[in-house]
Structure 1
């Protein structure tokens, strides 16, 4: 282990522009995000000004086209930036991933006119998005959602939305919501996607959920009570919403994987620093073989997770199918983050269980990554279907 402590992660970046971008991110993290992270999480402070800064810096739209205000960066670059943000403060990394997820439907399924009119503000205009798929009675079974959108004035008219979405990151603080609603028959074919502004009449948010971690990131139910939107807010064709949702989630799962690796990397660095400085029996803890083996296992899991999400990202960038690899990355990286953060607490002993060190917060935060954007049980189902085919019908 180097005498001067943990070193910055060596990145595999394809261009000089990407390397410069990463330097910008690391400086921004050092100055603006990491110093306030512990205090703001303890106080439950939502970092809205940080997201405005990320927007002004061009970091909220990195994987989207430059012509619409995005950064034009490949996904493998965007995800490594996301990892850096999550390592500094998961609320910021996860929030950036959720914002990107909320822009996906418009960027990939919206009309040319919709993209030209709306995307620049969403990607670089200081706005923040949320993604509304889950409901109180339909989490993993997303195709059974009950929020409904009904045409107001025949085929050419607008829509009226009614229902409740649950577990919405940025619920109550977002500027726009990508909403999946039922417009037809039961099942996935009857779902349509809409882009709904936060100031739409009839849209409201419940008080944020009281969570075990990520206290700075509000998660809340969002209610739609006779919310009227024009047909220009529909994303894609009527009945295409489930396709929009699945496409968005494949990309979003890679964002969660990158955040998980960033969180695990932060925990490892804390453990390395502590075990190098703390002495027992006249020797640094890092000299004891049992602890060295634990650190080696932690580092190996992090490197493996990083390689897995980058492989999936490169497939996406090359236009190749990546759904299986995205599910594998989300599964492996979030499970690894849970193990690594738990081990970090153990390595710090009693200090790891106190709020004087950030590893207890990292462990609490890691748990939710195994749940959001498809639980890890759902990821296993997705992976198994790719490997063995769909389940037989009895």
Structure 2
């Protein structure tokens, strides 16, 4: 299999159409003093859309994105987009990082230089990585699956082929959060001989049946918190997992609707104290949104929730993923499991309580995450041949 260079070039007609749609937005009403209690706040969204329409320059953002080394490769009938940045050091460690929803490969733009060129940022060049950041199938510039069943399990198989058959890495490291954490664990489960280690900055609930009498008090409290979170915040996930196509008609047609659906999550899931722009600039928020809008991938991106919900768990009760695992617990992450919960399925070698940050760790705290990745993988570097 071969990779071939790829350059982002959104047609001007797409940008012109976007401007027209923004100009003709039909805004809904809102309860007085609603804040964000009912969902995306109209006052904030109007300010973001005004910036999108009159100040945001996609061509500037596009040029910055194109500074990275982008490629595509045909794997198992899908063309997969990925960034491939080589490390600057004596023996860079190959590391594949997988994003989630509503993120994209763009989440890693601050993290990439810290990992590929640590010496330029005051760290040891021996900690350099070759970094591969693919776009999940149905996200961004990767192909949209046209058939059922492309879940995290199948994505892991695509990534294994990308790393070995396209890039030539027999052994490598893997990391991810959100959906990317699920893909990384599936990769480690199916190809344990290929992974020297995996690092996660998110852990969800397990689908493996567990006897409630075996749970610790901390685990019981964790499950209560997850249940409460699901009641208050999880409607989006239920919709994605059950009727994604119905939602897709609205989000694919309305840029303001798409922005509302995504920005509300960036605010709710980040360490921003309710002010989303404390963590993300308007340019960052809109660049990420544009990667869904310009490629018309919101439908295919949310469909992975359906596929994952209907996929059988590859883990059996009592089974462990044997690949060494490192876990970074960011304080505003939506899921805060105790260590014993993780150890039910993982061989935890490193467990770090991070001082700040949330669900979008690579964007929120790139320096903290970079140092955590360096520290976890450092002892395993000799295992790559």
Aligning the two structures, in what range does the TM-score lie when normalised by the shorter sequence? under 0.3
TM-score, reference length from structure 2? 0.26
Larger Cα-atom Rg: 1
Bigger proportion of residues as helix: 1
